[in-house]
Amino acid sequence: MTKGNALIGQSGGPTSVINSSLAGVIETAIKSSFIKDVFGMHFGIEGFMQEWLYDLGNQPRKIIEGLRYTPSSALGSSRHKVQEKDLPLILEVLKKFNIRYFFLIGGNDTMDTIHKVEEYCRIKNYELTGIGIPKTVDNDLFGTDHTPGFPSAARSNILNVMQGGILARDMQKVDKFVIYQTIGRDAGWLAAATALARNKEEDAPHLIYAPEFQFSRDKFLKDVDMCIKKNGWVSVVCGEGLKYADGTPVSSATTKDKFNNTEFGAMGGASVGLSLHRMIADEFGYRGEFQITESLIMSDFVRSSAVDLDEAFQCGVEAVKLAESGETGFMVCIRRTSNHPYSIEFGKVPLKEVAVSAKPMPLNFFNAEGNHVSPLFIDYMTPLAGELPEFISLEKIYAKHN
């Protein structure tokens, strides 16, 4: 093993636990006999190319410890798509700082970045160990049971829908429906997770629509009408990436990011939640509410999952262990070994299998109608979300006059 310095970066959207992964890497790397100094990219690969590096090994101990309980991305993030023209400069800076161990924490686009850099260095005969650490609230990385960041964002969604559902239930004589929109560009994991808010049949959410299914306006309005007739109101959860059969986004969003992903949160007016709201209001004349949290759930540390915090830290530890064993070109992955009791083990998956592509939810995690989840998904999600509050409702014991 070549001795040298380590580099750590964070890319893409923040999460409640990405800094816990960062702490895991730092704490393990500074103890390594192969790693001398530990540097951090300030603002991701963009900052690295400008030589903006934190000296993480010289940070006060209380700061490294505090990272485990601090949301968002402490190093500063980036969504820069690495081009072929960037690679010579990246290699030049790697050599300048004698970086031999390269760790990136992020989603599939991030894994694409580290894969390109690690592969380019190999071609140029520069010895570099590249390891990816999974992170994305969307939970759409291939090769891992779930991704750090998802359980906490899911828990935030669950609590939002649970509390918003009680509000909507009690206000049903004013507002007949409530729409809750969650992030989730290509996969419905975050929308589906809100099913755990529902303890009784009449509880929110009544309907869940995910990007895995083609959206039909007629079927949606039929589902809504049925729920209102049954319950007196309806709670609808939708993923931001809903599309019609022809591929058109329900939100009418057209802006693209650097990785050619549709920016559903961009340009202000493009919103699937508002689109669904208008459909119901126009069809039935009902008044209703919409709730759009956008990126707030991504770093909602106050409601983070204890399981998520621990696993995120351990993913950072495992990444350094992989590097120390001579492995390169892999992402750390989580393998679930049991639901009851919940248990996992850590493994590895080749970066090229994870890069760019998104993992949809298995269809057997949905009900036959495609508007809610199946018991299989509830089993999958329950241990990740952690203990949830129990709210009460009054029994329908009405007063009688004499």
Cα-based distances in Å from 306 to 26, 67, 332, 377, 384:
21, 15, 20, 20, 9
Q: Kind and range of the H or E element at 301?
A: none
Q: With contact defined as beta carbons under 8 Å apart, do 357 and 334 qualify?
A: no
Q: Which residues are catalytic?
A: 138
Cα-based distances in Å from 172 to 155, 169, 208, 218, 392:
25, 5, 19, 23, 17
CA–CA distance, 131 with 331 (Å, rounded to integer): 6
Q: CA nearest 355: which of 335, 329, 379, 381?
A: 329
Q: CA nearest 250: which of 165, 162, 179?
A: 179
Tally of CA atoms within 13 A in the half-sphere of 22 that contains its CB? 36
Complete edge-to-edge strand list for the sheet that includes strand 234-239: 207-209, 234-239, 177-182, 288-292
Tokens, residue 261: 């992903």
Q: With contact defined as beta carbons under 8 Å apart, do 372 and 366 qualify?
A: yes
Tokens, residue 213: 């299914």
CA–CA distance, 72 with 66 (Å, rounded to integer): 13
CA–CA distance, 357 with 263 (Å, rounded to integer): 17
CA–CA distance, 153 with 199 (Å, rounded to integer): 20
Helix 108-123 to helix 87-96 angle (10° resolution) is 70
168: left (phi over 0), alpha (psi -120 to 50) or beta: alpha
Nearest-5° Cα angle at 328, 323 to 330? 100
Phi, psi for residue 3 in degrees, rounded to 5? -85, 140
